[in-house]
Amino acid sequence: MKKKEAEKRIVQLAAELERHNHNYYVLNAPEITDFQYDLLMMELQQLEKMFPELLRKDSPTQKVGSDILPYNEIAGSLPRQFEQYPHRYPMLSLSNTYSLDELSSFNERVEKGSASPYTFSCELKFDGTAICLTYKNGRLMRALTRGDGSVGDDVTRNVLQIPSVPETLKDGSGYPDEFEIRGEIYMPYKAFDKLNRQREIEEEQPFANPRNAAAGSLKLLDPKLVKGRGLECTLYHLIVEEPVAATHIEALQKASSWGLPVSGLVKECINLDEVNEYINRWDSERKNLPYATDGIVVKVNQLALQASLGYTAKSPRWATAYKFKPEEALTKLVSIDYQVGRTGAVTPVANLEPVQLSGTKVKRASLHNADQMQLLDIHIGDYVYVEKGGEIIPKITRVEPSRRGFDIVEAVFPSHCPVCGAPLVRDEDEARHFCPNQDNCPPQIKGKFIHFIGRKAMGINAGEATVEQLYSKGYIRELSDLYKLTPELLLTLDKWKEKSVSNFIESLSKSREVPFERVLFALGIRHIGETTAKSIAMRFGDIWSISMATREELLEIDDVGAKLADSILSYFSNPLHMRIIKELEEYGLQMKVDSGKKTVQSDILKGMTIVISGNFSIPRDEMKFLVEANGGKAGSSISGNTAYMVAGEKCGPAKLEKALKLGVQIIDETQFFEMINKI
């Protein structure tokens, strides 16, 4: 590969990995399997190795993914969720490998650094979310998530809801005055199935896998809800100032004697053969475990040797993870369905001859898009390999050429929407085909309603099933139709009684108070997110001004790019949309920013990131709003880019310390108000 191509690919890979990190750590909704993720990461590492001059400091290979919610994600109704504290020792991730060969080069590196004999500790790699517990005088003081590796979210109250985590250690068991212990919070399969069944009943999106369910549960705001989630904890790394043992395994045994949960499946292996044996055994036996595991962690057992091997920027040199390859199965591709999603995206889904895979019968698998089909050179009637990683929908990875018969038929991606018949379009930078018939294509109409009623949009008390019924009975076609529904009509719905009808009507009526920025988001203009809706609403003040905005005016807003600007222009140029908006306004929906919240049009804070911490005379969200209304950005954590920290009562000590360290200017509420001319 030439340098130029490599450079291009590196940028692509970095962006792709960032996106998947975000999906995984922040949204808890991965789109790809771990294995696919690791492949992308390996490709990037490889390229950076070939062209070291192209290695960027901010490359995803150089940092651990972050689970901290950036402010933008939670702009709007949700306040900042957890206090953040720095980790005393950075929380790194493990280097990982899928090959036994690489494991032996790991061993060679250890051998080189070691003067005396050593052994390995082999442990199952629980598929959960990392946690760091601090005990002081026998009491749990703090539980932090990994966060970005150096700063984590304080989830102590939630962790205390996990029965296996002791709030106080066993009396007289000889624990040190203060220590840290790290491990994994995970959700056993049983609890996971129960939770997802519950979510289905409540018409909420089920979690993709137990790991995401665990991570999501740990970040619930109400500890009482955490209690019902059935989380478990296993601890695997003790950090003490004064050593309590000579080996890692002894240290874990000590921790266990203090009352802490430690896995009983840890094994000391005297050489690589024994390590391999452990791996082979658990690669098959893990299927019988009541929880998900995705590999084996191999650590140098001798703590003195661990210390002398030390760390790279990203991971310890004394440990590595061997990841299990996802299971695959060979089966026949019977046919392909082309499903039209809520956004109009057309996804090819393969119908397979049923085959057993990772304990379940698989009949369907995703083919992603037309490019992927072409890449696989897939034909109806082919024998294909399906893989299931991370419990997401199985995916076809390749065709088995030796089993290709004469009866195969070329798989052709349709040129027209299989539902409404409109000619499909393909965005230049997106690999997917779309049906452009947004207002008349049934799955897209339903999608619009589902988005509209959503919790972050209008918050109407109904779910997908209700939309499905209302649509199939012909009661709803345009968003404004929702407000035309009468109790008589609603009573004709399957299983609807007076109580459900009155609940629904009441929540419709309540939705009239939903602030304009959320109404704007609810309209479902393509590419508009919660945060951008807010920025646009604040800038223009009301829907009619937005509808008349020029492309240039739209592009002036920080988060608005060309794609979104064009999408907004095209949305408002459609007379149908204008009529619907008018109707919604007549039904009483908010079509302008609440005047109490008046858009402040100043750009005094332009280009500044300002972090708000503590309690003020007005709600913290209002403070953040004021920052943004004056052209600034409300940051969530202190960095070198922070212009000011506005400190209120009880502001986070860690933030304060960091601000002082980095020389960030700290101001109080009054100074802030003066700055934006509020007083």
Compute the least distance from the CB of residue 398 to Zn ion, in Å.
Answer: 31
Backbone angles phi, psi at 61, to 5 degrees: -75, -15
Does position 420 bind Zn ion by CB under 5 A? yes
Compute the least distance from the CB of residue 450 to Zn ion, in Å.
Answer: 16
Q: How far apart are CA 10 and CA 32, in angstroms?
A: 19
Nearer to Zn ion, 416 or 484 (CB): 416
57 assigned to active site: no
The beta-carbon contacts of 243-249 under 8 Å, at least 24 apart in sequence, are 243/303, 244/176, 245/303, 246/302, 246/303, 246/304, 247/119, 247/121, 247/301, 247/302, 247/303, 248/121, 248/299, 248/300, 248/301, 248/302, 248/303, 248/306, 249/121, 249/301
Nearer to Zn ion, 211 or 577 (CB): 577
Residues 190-229 that bind Zn ion (CB under 5 A): none
How many residues touch Zn ion under the rule CB under 5 A: the total is 7
Locate 404 and state its tokens.
């290709």
Q: How far apart are CA 572 and CA 541, in angstroms?
A: 16
Compute the least distance from the CB of residue 521 to Zn ion, in Å.
Answer: 24
Nearer to Zn ion, 245 or 419 (CB): 419
Compute the least distance from the CB of residue 369 to Zn ion, in Å.
Answer: 16
Locate 595 and state its tokens.
């005047």
Q: How far apart are CA 67 and CA 638, in angstroms?
A: 16
Asked whether 126 and 184 are in contact (CB, 8 A), the reply is: yes
Angle at 464 between CA 461 and CA 469, to 5 degrees: 95
Compute the least distance from the CB of residue 334 to Zn ion, in Å.
Answer: 24
Compute the least distance from the CB of residue 282 to Zn ion, in Å.
Answer: 48
Q: How far apart are CA 237 and CA 234, in angstroms?
A: 10
Nearer to Zn ion, 227 or 342 (CB): 342
Nearer to Zn ion, 337 or 657 (CB): 337
Compute the least distance from the CB of residue 441 to Zn ion, in Å.
Answer: 3
Asked whether 323 and 96 are in contact (CB, 8 A), the reply is: yes
- Is the alpha carbon torsion for 518, 519, 522, 527 positive or negative? negative
Choose the stretch contacting Zn ion; rule: CB under 5 A; options: 94-102, 376-384, 409-417, 547-555: 409-417
The pairing of beta strand 345-357 with beta strand 84-86: unpaired
Instruction: Please write down the HEC assignment for all residues of 206-243.
Output: CCCCHHHHHHHHHCCCCHHHHHCCCCEEEEEEEECCCC
Compose the 603-642 pattern: x for residues touching Zn ion by CB under 5 A, - for all others.
Answer: ----------------------------------------
Nearer to Zn ion, 425 or 548 (CB): 425
Nearer to Zn ion, 420 or 676 (CB): 420
Q: How far apart are CA 409 and CA 642, in angstroms?
A: 59
Choose the stretch contacting Zn ion; rule: CB under 5 A; options: 177-185, 388-396, 416-424, 582-590: 416-424
Helix, coil or strand: residue 298: strand
Nearer to Zn ion, 147 or 344 (CB): 344
Asked whether 152 and 141 are in contact (CB, 8 A), the reply is: no
Does position 72 bind Zn ion by CB under 5 A? no
Identified binder of Zn ion from the candidate list 32, 251, 417, 659, rule CB under 5 A: 417
| Catalytic residue from among 4, 57, 112, 125 | 125
Identified binder of Zn ion from the candidate list 441, 525, 565, 591, rule CB under 5 A: 441
Compute the least distance from the CB of residue 572 to Zn ion, in Å.
Answer: 22
Nearer to Zn ion, 243 or 423 (CB): 423
Would residue 376 be called left, alpha or beta, if left means φ above 0 and alpha means ψ between -120 and 50 degrees?
Answer: alpha
Choose the stretch contacting Zn ion; rule: CB under 5 A; options: 33-41, 381-389, 420-428, 557-565: 420-428
Choose the stretch contacting Zn ion; rule: CB under 5 A; options: 123-131, 232-240, 427-435, 446-454: 427-435
Q: For tokens 């955490």, what's the residue?
A: 226
Nearer to Zn ion, 414 or 648 (CB): 414
Does position 439 bind Zn ion by CB under 5 A? no
CA torsion angle 434 440 443 445 (round to 10): 110
Compose the 254-293 pattern: x for residues touching Zn ion by CB under 5 A, - for all others.
Answer: ----------------------------------------
Q: Which residues pair with 338 in a beta bridge?
A: 348
CA distances, 463 to each of 148, 221, 239, 504 (Å): 35, 23, 47, 11
CA distances, 321 to each of 90, 442, 460 (Å): 18, 47, 46
Q: Which residues pair with 145 in a beta bridge?
A: 131
Does position 591 bind Zn ion by CB under 5 A? no
Choose the stretch contacting Zn ion; rule: CB under 5 A; options: 40-48, 401-409, 438-446, 537-545: 438-446
Compute the least distance from the CB of residue 447 to Zn ion, in Å.
Answer: 11
- Other beta carbons within 10 angstroms of residue 64's beta carbon come to 21
Closest CA to 321 of 263, 279, 262: 279
The pairing of beta strand 345-357 with beta strand 360-366: antiparallel
Choose the stretch contacting Zn ion; rule: CB under 5 A; options: 410-418, 425-433, 470-478, 536-544: 410-418
Locate 168 and state its tokens.
């106080």
Nearer to Zn ion, 434 or 516 (CB): 434
Compute the least distance from the CB of residue 436 to Zn ion, in Å.
Answer: 8
Compute the least distance from the CB of residue 343 to Zn ion, in Å.
Answer: 11
Nearer to Zn ion, 441 or 482 (CB): 441
Closest CA to 69 of 158, 184, 148: 148
Choose the stretch contacting Zn ion; rule: CB under 5 A; options: 128-136, 175-183, 262-270, 417-425: 417-425
Angle in degrees, 0-180, between the axes of helices 100-112 and 272-285, rounded to the nearest 10:
150
Compose the 365-404 pattern: x for residues touching Zn ion by CB under 5 A, - for all others.
Answer: ----------------------------------------
Does position 185 bind Zn ion by CB under 5 A? no
Locate 627 and state its tokens.
């920052």
Does position 435 bind Zn ion by CB under 5 A? yes
Does position 437 bind Zn ion by CB under 5 A? yes
Asked whether 546 and 536 are in contact (CB, 8 A), the reply is: yes
Q: How far apart are CA 287 and CA 293, in angstroms?
A: 9
Compute the least distance from the CB of residue 438 to Zn ion, in Å.
Answer: 9
Choose the stretch contacting Zn ion; rule: CB under 5 A; options: 101-109, 247-255, 411-419, 521-529: 411-419
Q: How far apart are CA 152 and CA 172, in angstroms?
A: 31
Question: Which residues lie near Zn ion (CB under 5 A)?
Answer: 417, 419-420, 422, 435, 437, 441
As annotated, the active-site residues are: 125
